[in-house]
Amino acid sequence: MTDELLLRYGVIGTGMMGVEHILNVLALDDTSVTAIADPDAGSRDAGLAAAGVGTSVYTNHHDLLADDSIDAVVVATPNFTHLDVMRDVLATGKHVICEKPLATTTADCKTMIELADGYPGVVWVGLEYRYMPAVQALINEAHAGVAGDVKMVTIREHRFPFLEKIGDWNRFSKNTGGTLVEKTCHYFDLMNLIIGQRPVQVYASGGQSVNHLDEIYDGERSDILDNAYVTVDYPDGVRAMLDLCMFAEATKDQEEISVVGDVGKLDARVPTSELHVGIRSGEGWPDIGQVETRSITNEDIRHTGLHHGASYLEHVDFAYAIRNNTPPLVTLEDGLWSVAMGEAANRSIAENRPVALTELI
């Protein structure tokens, strides 16, 4: 390995996702984690344990960004800090991957896009659910026209409650952007990617029904939603729906993603990593057609981690873009739209009405 080939990373924020990024970077060829930064001592210790002896350790991101040996930066700090941290990163020329959500508001996403205009480095958004093997297979089949012209996309996530974070910052919508920004920006991004269009309208129903109801911090009660239905309208009558429940961990597959076209239906299941491909017979009942079940694996994954290898595959593409001077495959605009859809859904719930995306973008 020569110095010319080696990509040196700095990781800002070494909580759970920061450590996940460190482990994925170290699984790549010709990469190193040169430095980490986090104001919390426990997180710094976790980051150093993952990155290894010899890694520079900083208590703030400014010192890390001043380290000229670093080529690329991973931003994995709390959501509400993304804009301020990215403002500093985008003054350096370093390549950067910013964890989802890009920011907590559409307005902050717009500001970040303005800051990055003409930026010489690769700027990437960490919407890694695109890379889950079964989901990636579904996207490829949908884009190949296997289901025909896509008419409907349905995504169901039935999962466990939010995990504990430092200071429990994720218990408040003002810090996260709200559940429909923090958690489900992934799914809004998948809807846009599968359908290949930008949405026009969102309407939603949701609430906080079970989780964190008795949690009070400095006199303020947790306000984070734990369930919602969200319907998204696209041009030409195409529509998508999200079914989210965060007190439904007693289930086999946490995510189910369905794509229905005029020819057939595709279903991706995670974590069982199955893809179901159904083709209509054209004859109607009882001759409804054939359904094939495929077990999806990716032998190129070197680190499975928290997202079934998706973060590793994301980092493979990020490093490729850096080394080959190619555009990011997950752009700031993708991050903007995924946040705007979540913000529109939050507004729809609060105001009990459909919300046009033109109100935000």
Question: Would you kindly state where each structural domain of the chain is located, as residue ranges?
Answer: 7-129+308-330, 130-303+339-359
Q: If you count them, how many residues does the chain have?
A: 361
CB-CB contact of 181 with 109 (8 Å): no
What's the order of all strands across the beta sheet hosting 123-126? Answer: 56-58, 31-37, 7-12, 72-75, 95-99, 123-126
CB-CB contact of 212 with 356 (8 Å): no
User: CA 70, CA 11: separation in Å to the nearest integer?
Assistant: 10
CATH 3.30.360.10 fits 130-303+339-359, yes or no: yes
Q: Which pLDDT tens digit goes with each residue over 114-124?
A: 999 999 999 99
Q: Which pLDDT tens digit goes with each residue over 206-259?
A: 999 999 999 999 999 999 999 999 999 999 999 999 999 999 999 999 999 999
CB-CB contact of 338 with 188 (8 Å): yes
Contacts of 359 by beta carbon, 8 Å cutoff, 6+ apart: 344, 347
Instruction: Select from 3.30.420.40, 3.50.50.60, 3.20.20.70, 3.40.50.720 the CATH code of 7-129+308-330.
Output: 3.40.50.720
Q: What is the mean pLDDT of residues 70-79?
A: 98
* Confidence check: pLDDT of 1 > 60: no
